[in-house]
Structure 1
């Protein structure tokens, strides 16, 4: 016998509360412990009922999803999954929610009242399971370090002239990337190219939010954009981003691993252009996107970093990269920035 995952569903629409509840209650390993119509009610019920997971609508009256999240983080140990409609305000709030500790978000298919919410049924239930697993992951103080070389010896022995930094992430990535990118110095003197799995519209809000807090210029990438040093290029949702002769190319070729943009597309193209001048880092995320890309980076003489299991929200992408044998070092989240700066001789 196992404990079912207890979920609190928060949405100002009675229809949406019913539809989301039906999706969750149709699963054998989870159930809706209660629902709430706004942020105030969500906070009261979270305290009273101690749910494992909260699905939280972004756009609500009286207290919106972001305001509710801040309060929920103070009174509840539940992991929070944001449900967002694609509006300018909704996408901006969602990005800020991820920075403030929301586990992940799900885009409603057709706005605040999505009659077709069943289109994302699998995504809702899958992310609830991942959030529950993360909540219950054993916390240890043992940091996983690469079996290949130690941190210090690798930095001191690596003398390549690097000319591009590639970053790839999915679930849990927005906060990690925000923390890393906003701490990069303004004289890093290489371009940073980023794939974060996100739907169309949210990557613009992600880039804008980071740009306000960064020493570097952060932009959502555009087709045929010349790549410049000290600029961070975020792959736009819905498009693969590649590097061709020092220029960004966007395309609508088929999804890879069910996603577009894909880390593999960026890493492979950049490795073939920059050759041994690449530092590539794979962060937390579901699936195996990036594994083929790190093979290409290593084949061309570049350097590969993977986030460790203890600090990954989901260890899927780093694990797949590590299993290729092409990762140079495995580091916890809070050591990756300094390691990159040492490679670049900026620290």
Structure 2
């Protein structure tokens, strides 16, 4: 379960949910954007949101979740008389399964009612909600402008050399995360600059991602895409891999939607699998390197196992497939 809440609700909500041991809170969010990203990555059974009438962003978050990662949503609403209150109706129209009024404080009785409500909505059949797909929404791209995101780990430099060498006529930005010690990142970028068919550079914070250019994440920080197609470098959240492929892919899924093309190359572990699934869930085209050409099939296999991969291809066929995919987006 993922919960989204106002900061002052955090302790009470989590304690109330987990009191009897059969409900686990796997992620928390204090902003609507965090909730949307968290659902895309964690893929919980239930989402619980605390809602106040003035917080319009949470209604938008409900619509966005139900459009791209349909999940049963229970809204815990403060300051309403009942489920027929305007804010409750709006939450239901946005796609929530149920609304639970919370006006009596965090009593043991209310906590028990909350847990019962969560159990009822868990496993409920949900459908994709069309309102979040409205192209006029500010959170979604308004033009068809493709963007490519690539993740790699063990064996990645050689695979990237082959892949980038085949992107000669690509008219899209390429954002790359390669797991590597920070001391070796500059050398990697220099090497890729010699073998790539496109210009290669280290990503700079605040830089606009330009078509036909390759941007590598610096060592020790995450590379993310912002709403205006700018590059964001951040050390938060701390992660096993920094930069993290999941952090890149999840931000690209959120900001580029169906305009995104994801590529997961050779590597140990599962970094990138859930992010690639988020991209596919938002209509992006997703590719992974096949086992026969991977130095380590771990990351592609993890993505394949959870249904995140549209096509599994040998490394020498990936560049052509990605070029075709970007042309479909732009057409």
For normalisation by structure 2, the TM-score amounts to 0.53
Match in the other structure for 1:116: none
Match of 1:259 among 234, 241, 256: 241
What does 1:126-275 correspond to in 2, within 5 Å?
Answer: 163-185=146-168, 187-245=169-227, 246-256=229-239, 258-275=240-257
Match in the other structure for 1:321: 303
For normalisation by structure 1, the TM-score amounts to 0.51
Matches of 2:302 and 2:145 in 1, distance apart? Answer: 24
For the 8 Å contact 2:172–2:326, the answer to whether it is kept is: no
Match in the other structure for 2:82: none
Root-mean-square deviation (CA, aligned residues, Å) is 1.7
What SS does the aligned partner of 2:270 have?
A: coil
Structure 2 residue 301 is matched with structure 1 residue 308:
no
Residue 344 of structure 1 and its aligned partner are, at CA, apart by 3.1
Per-residue CA deviations over 1:164-212 (Å, capped at 9, x if unaligned) read: 0111000001000011112211x31110000000111312211122213
Per-residue CA deviations over 1:94-122 (Å, capped at 9, x if unaligned) read: xxxxxxxxxxxxxxxxxxxxxxxxxxxxx
Residue 162 of structure 1 and its aligned partner are, at CA, apart by 5.6
Residue 343 of structure 1 and its aligned partner are, at CA, apart by 2.2
Residue 255 of structure 1 and its aligned partner are, at CA, apart by 3.6
For the 8 Å contact 1:162–1:279, the answer to whether it is kept is: no
What SS does the aligned partner of 2:177 have?
A: strand
Match in the other structure for 1:335: 317
Per-residue CA deviations over 1:44-65 (Å, capped at 9, x if unaligned) read: xxxxxxxxxxxxxxxxxxxxxx
Matches of 2:281 and 2:219 in 1, distance apart? Answer: 28
Q: How many residues align?
A: 185
Matches of 1:340 and 1:212 in 2, distance apart? Answer: 21
Matches of 2:279 and 2:174 in 1, distance apart? Answer: 15
User: Runs (4+) of structure 1 moved beyond 3 Å?
Assistant: none
Segments of structure 1 that go 5 or more residues without pairing to the other structure are: 1-159
Residue 222 of structure 1 and its aligned partner are, at CA, apart by 1.2
